[in-house]
Chain A
Amino acid sequence: MKAAVGDVLVIDGHHVGERTRRGEVVEVRGADGAPPYIVRWDDSERTTLLFPGPDCIVHHRDDDAP
C-alpha cells in the first residue's frame, strides 16, 4: 500500500452501526509511501497513527485533478 500527504483513506464499517471512516494523510512514516500514516479524521480535529489493514482504500489526491 502506498499513499502520499493529501491522499484520503477510506475504511468502511464492517458491522451494523459501524460508520465509514475517512481521513486525510498528513504524514507518511514509512519509506516510499508505505505505512504507517498520520491521519486526520474527518470527524475529529486530532490526528492518529494508522497502520492500515487490507480494508483500507486510498483515494490519491492526484486522481481528483482535472
Chain B
Amino acid sequence: MVEKIIFNKKIYTKQAIENSIEAYSQLADFCVSNDKNYFIVSIDKIDKGVKNVIRDEFCNFVLAELRKA
C-alpha cells in the first residue's frame, strides 16, 4: 500500500524533503511530485519493521532538516 504525505510548499522546502528521502531511502521507495501548493511524497515498499512509524518519523525528520537549512 502506498502512503502519501502532503507537505505545504510555504512551510517545507524541497531541499529538506530530498535530504530526508536520502536518509530514509534504505527503508522504503520514495517518490516526490509537485502540486501548485504542495509537495506530495509517496512512500512505497515500506520495510515491515518500520511500517507503523515511518510516516510520522519521516515528517519529523523533514522538520528537523528544515531547521538545519
Task: Decide whether A and B are members of one complex.
Answer: no
